[in-house]
Amino acid sequence: MATNGSNGGQTSRFLIWGGDGWVAGHLKTLLEGQGKKVFTTTVRMENRETVIAELDRVNPTHVLNAAGCTGRPNVDWCEDNKEATMRSNVVGALNLTDCCFVRGIHCTVFATGCIYQYDDAHPLDGPGFLETDPANFAGSFYSMTKAHVEEIMKHYENCLILRLRMPVSDDLHPRNFVTKISKYDRVVDIPNSNTILTDLLPASILLAEHGDVGVYNFTNPGAISHNEVLALFRDIVRPSFTWKNFSLQEQAKVIKAGRSNCKLDTSKLTTKLREFGYEVPEIHDAYRLCFERMKASGIK
């Protein structure tokens, strides 16, 4: 039996998959802060019997799937480990959504918007990719698995797919996009859509609790270039910070998999969230606020 996720007054019980991951940790903290019932699991998504047993044990109203094979130290790993990448990102992700469907549980998938690259129809200064645009970036195996699975998974009527891009936390955790680019020897300078977690994760809970389904570009509105991000970081957090740029061609020589650069259209998301009275700040404003929170917490 499928569910629409809005559980008619029943108290929500959230089960976060990929419980030891970075985004999962932020979700847990957020839900606990909201006083919600929250559980985490590290059960492998591809193991159908153990997934079903875990769902029956915890009996959640909502699963938040923050599990995925992201590669260590980065997505280049996925180029050399294709079966393992498919097992998690395709077989596992689809299996978990299907098990939730069978048990009538709403499933929110923390997916990626790194399935696009700028093209003639979507130039740097254009409106951005819509949820309905077909993926056009196959430069990395990681992105390819995510794009293919989304194409199928979006047909599950219990499934909400949220496309994050280059997520940013209010600290300098190694997985924060700002931490990554601040440590590179050289960075490219291209406008991109980014997800400030403090702004977007509460929106994911709102959408899940309202039983929303389908695909959403899940970033702050607008696009911001690497240099704009790093200049704000320098101006607000670390006055001594400097960096060097290089071109996409030079970058290609030091990475194995390609990296997606794109702007996503967030009209669908912001229109829906307005129904709940929730506003997501434009990306330049959002970064300023994020760096001010960082500075206020003593990070230098």
Ligand X SMILES: NC(=O)c1ccc[n+]([C@@H]2O[C@H](COP(=O)([O-])OP(=O)(O)OC[C@H]3O[C@@H](n4cnc5c(N)ncnc54)[C@H](OP(=O)(O)O)[C@@H]3O)[C@@H](O)[C@H]2O)c1
In the complex, minimum distance from the CB of residue 10 to ligand X, in angstroms, rounded to a whole number: 27
Options 62-70, 99-107, 117-125, 207-215: segment touching ligand X (CB under 6 A): 62-70
141 is a contact residue toward ligand X (CB under 6 A): no
The answer to whether the beta carbons of residues 225 and 189 sit under 8 Å apart is yes
Among residues 12, 112, 158, 217, which is the contact residue for ligand X, using CB under 6 A? 112
70 is a contact residue toward ligand X (CB under 6 A): yes
Q: How far apart are CA 239 and CA 118, in angstroms?
A: 32
Residues 101-120: b if buried by 16+ CB within 10 A, e if exposed: bebebbbbbbbbbbbbbbee
Options 5-13, 41-49, 116-124, 129-137: segment touching ligand X (CB under 6 A): 41-49
Task: Read off φ and ψ for residue 123, nearest 5 degrees.
Answer: -75, 170
Cα–Cα distances in angstroms (integers) from residue 7 to residues 38, 86, 209, 272, in the given order: 16, 33, 8, 19
23 is a contact residue toward ligand X (CB under 6 A): yes
92 is a contact residue toward ligand X (CB under 6 A): yes
18 is a contact residue toward ligand X (CB under 6 A): yes
Options 63-71, 116-124, 232-240, 290-298: segment touching ligand X (CB under 6 A): 63-71
63 is a contact residue toward ligand X (CB under 6 A): no
Options 164-172, 185-193, 221-229, 256-264: segment touching ligand X (CB under 6 A): 164-172
Residue closer to ligand X by CB (options 135, 275) is: 135
Give the residue among 16, 9, 45 at the shortest CA–CA distance from 30.
16
In the complex, minimum distance from the CB of residue 262 to ligand X, in angstroms, rounded to a whole number: 12
Residue 41: strand pairing partners:
17
Each residue 165-204 as x (binds ligand X by CB under 6 A) or -, in order, gives x-x-------x-----------------------------
DSSP-assigned letters across all residues of 211-234: T--EEEE-S-SS-B-HHHHHHHHH
Sites of contact with ligand X (CB under 6 A): 18, 20-24, 44-46, 66-70, 88, 92, 110, 112, 164-165, 167, 175
